[in-house]
Structure 1
Amino acid sequence: MNISLALEIPAVLSFSLFLVLSSCDDTAGTHQPTNAGNVNNVNNVNNLNNVNNVNNVNNVNNQQQLVAAILTPAPAAEVQEGRTLSLTSAISGGQAPYTVRWDVDGIELSTLEQPGDTIIPEYGDRTLTLTATDASGNVANDSVPLHVLDLNEGLRPYFGNLHSHSGLSDGEGTPEEVLTWARDVVGVDFYGMTDHAEQLSDSEWALVRTVTDAFSQPGVFVALRGFEWSHPWNGHMCIYTTEDYTSAISDIWITYIYDWLIENNALAQFNHPGRENGVFDDLDFEPDVASNMFAIETGNKGNGNADGEFLPYYIQALDNGWHLAPTSNQDNHSLSMNSHRSVFWATELTRESLVQAIRDRRFYSSDDPDVEVMFRSGEVILGGTVSMGAPGTVEFQIKVVDNEPIQRLELITGGGQVAAQLEPAPGTNRITWFPTVDVSGDSWFFLKVTSEDTLDGEGPVQIAVTAPIYFVF
């Protein structure tokens, strides 16, 4: 029994081994048992990749579109040129980070998402645009219209000369030749014919009227008849808007010519002050004739504002009580002009607008032939008067535009003191400035602009000075 059992056990084991071996032989031609795990791993990786691809697609589909929106200012907002507007935005979607640009009609203002208070340059109907670019290169933008108000408020500057001579006195050329040259060669907007009265005849005075009337063409050119009262001691004056004329031979003293101005409702300017020793009786203020005297030359012939010869007399006259505009004139006796100009502000170029500007003292004096200088305080512009109810702070609105670099702006007051000043960044050609000062009594302020001379050969600088704005209590 014990032996028989011992023989059965190996038989069972043998049969089992046969079954196992047979099973292995049946599958040997179609599968490699040792690679089965690798196949499963590859399938698992492919499945994961497929899942990831699906997730990526879903992420792309779920990503929000890039959106840029201007929150402020509101559409059609109004702002005065040179003032600030608060620029704020909302940018979302896309892929951060964002690159941002704000501009007004292509002029870049900022690259910040939230610039806040930002100066808006140049007047006109403008478009403010916000452009956002995300990390993937997607671009979104928004824009709003703006109304940028002109500091000039419809006025424009006109450049010319109020003091000249022809062959009728001690100059060259006929009145026709002089005015043709001034209009067509020099290209000034206006020109005053002011021959010495002491050398004029009645017929020549009448001729000047005929010629200046013929040459005046609205919107093109204005010719103005006047004459120069020329006293060897008291000084010289250019006198305008009269039917008659007089000379220093007839009205020899300063009091005589003042009386004549009043009787003839004339408008006159003090010429080249200080050149004659009497200096118009030291520019003593005469209230009876104050409304007739509208200007004083701060530039004459080649001596401009930068030379400083006549500017102290302008300040002296203002301190004495005169309400005068500065002018810069050629006093030329031949067909030649330098870059100095008298400039008035008006809505149009006509003789009437020129005469009104003379009455309003709406002038500035410039060494430069084309610099634009606006000087105002609220609705009152250069030459005007602000009535103050009580002491307080006043603001000036200033704009200067030049094709040469602007170096300095100075607010000048009594005694020639500098009440405020600004030095723009190098190379600045256009600037707005809004200085404030405290005013507690009757006072005046004018603007002095210094620019680098790079075009006119006067060098190294050119200066413009405006008529004052007066404050009275």
Structure 2
Amino acid sequence: MGDHGHHHTHVHGHDGHDDHGHERGAQGQPGGTSRRALLGAAAGGMLFMAAAPGSARAATTGTAATGSSAAQAAGGASRASLITQGTTLVHADLHNHTAMSDGDGDPALAFASMRSAGLDVAALTDHSGVFTIGGLSSSEWKRTATLADAANVPGVYTAIRGFEWTHALLGHANVWFSDSYVDMSLAPGMGAFFDWLDDKEAVAGFNHPGREELRFNEFRHHAAVHDRMVSLEMFNRTDDYLFEGWSSGMSSPLVTCLNAGWRTGLTGVTDEHGTDWGFPEGKGRSGLWVTENTRAGVLEAMRARRFFATRVSGLRLDATAAGVRMGGQLPLTSGDVRFRVDLDRGAEWTGKPLNIQVLRPGSAAPDVVDVITTTAGRISEFTVPLDTADGNWVVLRVSDPAQANGSPGPAGHACNDWGVAYSSPWWLQG
């Protein structure tokens, strides 16, 4: 880990956040009983019970499940940032499967399940076929669009059709907002996939990076789709991918991807293959800061990398560096950068001790140049010296110091504790 200059930290308490938390077991730990809801009819005006370990709470679901009503249904913090204006937080799961590929569930139930779970944005991304058993057919691709269109309620709930390009050795990549899909018959390698993507208006992301051994040809950069590759999964199911493959001698996928020149935001996903889409606690999900909860609004936020990865429900994370929001560019060669972080999860996490780790490029693992101690439910402000000579990106990782990382990196590394969330990166532009 690199040395760092002095920083000054100020942690401010605040009032005014919604207290709609549900109990999820001790300190929100992963695993245990899932927040399986007692689903009632999805018709407007019906009641459903959002059940969680030790609690049950009723909420009305009409045609609108936005703002505080959705926050109450899902638990957690309110959707308004305390440090920026003009956008609203939406909770999203952008990676899900059904029986149309290798999942177990009826695709007709998936979007309703995710909406009932309190998600605001959901995507179905079944595998494309050829070398994938049970991959999408053209009729199933059309059916995915029909199901998404039927579930989509602009301003309330955004349902998206996508697919997962699948290569057993190179890796898997999700594609969203495309009118067509591609499989290995037409895109058998990374170059062919990127050539196909370059011809579309779609956006895409690197899935569970490092699970497949060639790791997208070690994330070799492809300039033509630089802007279209918008995401890197840091949480997939219950796993933190920061040190994926480290025990086998591999470098951090985060470091390898960003050092290769990609400008991906960071996401969490459930990669759900079961039948309880949206409900299990402890699986990945994403928070997007949108100007409106519509397909156009979600696509704009994805293109701007204005989102974060987490694996706890109801989390609000907003962050600025020198006034620039996560996912943006810092007009800086070197100097002190002031960060502001709004971190909240509602009443049940108020006062919970957390760390904010400042990640910078390393050769194999990220350098942690600062660790700021804070508590949930507060705004944290701190200053960190940054220099493009040390690399052009910076990421904030929120962690729970009381729990261990199930996939640790180098001995003594500051990120060997349990990851709660990742901001999308900032990029320094000297």
| TM-score, length-scaled by structure 1 | 0.64
- Match runs of 1:202-213 below 5 Å: 202-213=138-149
| Counterpart Cα distance in 2 of 1:167 and 1:370 | 28
Return the match for 1:387 from 318, 328, 331.
331
Q: Is the partner of 2:252 in helix, strand or coil?
A: helix
Give, in angstroms, the shift of residue 428 of structure 1: 4.9
Residue 421 (1) aligns with residue 340 (2): no
The residue aligned with 1:400 is: 343
The 2-side partners of 1:246 and 1:398 are apart by 39
In structure 2, the CA distance between the partners of 1:428 and 1:239, relative to structure 1 (3 Å rule), is closer
Q: CA deviation at 1:437?
A: 1.6
2:100 maps to what in 1?
168
Assess, with a 3 A threshold, how the Cα gap between structure 1 residues 266 and 288 changes in structure 2: closer, same or farther.
Answer: same
More helix by share: 1
Query: What is the aligned-residue identity percentage?
Result: 27
Partner secondary structure for residue 288 of structure 1: helix
Q: Deviations over 1:115-140 (max 9, x none)?
A: xxx9674589xxxxxxxxxxxxxxxx
**1 CA distance for matches of 2:214 and 2:14?**
48
Distance change (3 Å), C-alpha of 1:462 and 1:444: closer
- Partners of 1:254 and 1:119 lie apart in 2 by 47
Query: Aligned-pair distance for 1:472?
Result: 0.9
- CA gap of 1:306–1:451, structure 2 versus 1, over 3 A, is farther
Give the counterpart of 1:410 among 357, 373, 380.
357
Q: How many residues align?
A: 326
Measure the CA separation in 1 of the matches of 2:140 and 2:393. Answer: 41
- Distance in 2, matches of 1:209 and 1:155, equals 27
The one-character-per-residue Cα deviations of 1:400-446 (angstroms, maximum 9, x if unpaired) are 1134213211111111111222113xx65323223232435461111
Letter in 1 for 2:215: V
Residue 451 of structure 1 is aligned with which of 397, 400, 404? 400
* Offset from partner CA, 1:298-335 (integer Å, 9 cap, x none): 11122136886699201221111110111111111112
Aligned to 2:258: 318
1-structure distance, mates of 2:238, 2:320: 29
**In structure 2, what is the Cα distance between the partners aligned to 1:287 and 1:446?**
22
Superposed, 1:100-115 pairs within 5 Å as: none
Structure with the larger RCO, 1 or 2 (CA within 8 Å, 6+ apart): 2
Matches of residues 46-445 of structure 1 in structure 2 within 5 Å?
121-122=14-15, 150-184=82-116, 186-198=117-129, 199-304=135-240, 312-336=252-276, 337-339=280-282, 340-388=284-332, 391-402=334-345, 403-404=348-349, 405-415=352-362, 416-424=366-374, 428-441=376-389, 443-445=392-394
Larger Rg: 1
**Once the 2 structures are TM-superposed, how far is the Cα of residue 225 of structure 1 from its aligned partner?**
0.5
Q: Secondary structure in 2 aligned to 1:423?
A: strand
4+ runs of 1 displaced by more than 6 Å? none
Gaps of 5+ in 1: 1-82, 85-117, 125-148, 455-459
Q: Higher mean Cα deviation, 330-339 or 257-266?
A: 330-339
CA-to-partner distance for each residue in 1:242-277, whole Å, 9 max, x for gaps? 111110232101110010010123211111111111
Q: Does 1:467 align with 2:429?
A: no
Q: Which one-letter code corresponds to 1:406 in the other structure?
A: P
- Note the aligned Cα RMSD (angstroms): 2.7
Give me the whole-angstrom Cα distance separating, in 2, the residues matched to 1:154 and 1:411: 26
Distance 1:267 1:290, change over 3 A: same
| Partner Cα separation in structure 2 for residue 292 and residue 151 of structure 1 | 28
Give the whole-Å Cα distance in 2 for the aligned partners of 1:432 and 1:218.
34
Aligned partners of 2:341, 2:106: CA distance in 1, in Å? 41
Letter in 1 for 2:164: E
Distance 2:254 2:202 in 1: 21
Partners of 1:372 and 1:347 in 2: CA distance: 16
